[in-house]
Amino acid sequence: MTARPVPAPSWFKSSYSGGSGTECVECAWLAGSALIRDSKRVGGPVLAVRGQAWQVFIGSLSNVRLEG
């Protein structure tokens, strides 16, 4: 068996991010999982969530009324 290199994830920020360095979260897709990290700590911990669970979470956000 030969080990194959794992491609580096392609990180992205939400289109709702301000772009001024204040973004909090970046996401990436990798092998059926959603990866989430703090955009200010790119070398820090990464949370991996099953892709289906992440899609349900994101879909539920459209049903949430944010108050501020």
Q: Determine contact, residues 50/35, Cβ cutoff 8 Å.
A: no
pLDDT at 48: 92
Interval 3-59: pLDDT, tens: 777 678 898 887 766 666 666 788 999 888 999 998 888 888 999 999 899 889 888
- Amino acid (one-letter) located at 58: I
pTM for this predicted structure: 0.69
CA 65 vs. chain centroid, Å, equals 22
pLDDT at 18: 65
Closest CA relative to residue 25, chosen from 15, 12, 39, 11: 39
Domain map (residue ranges) of the chain? 25-61
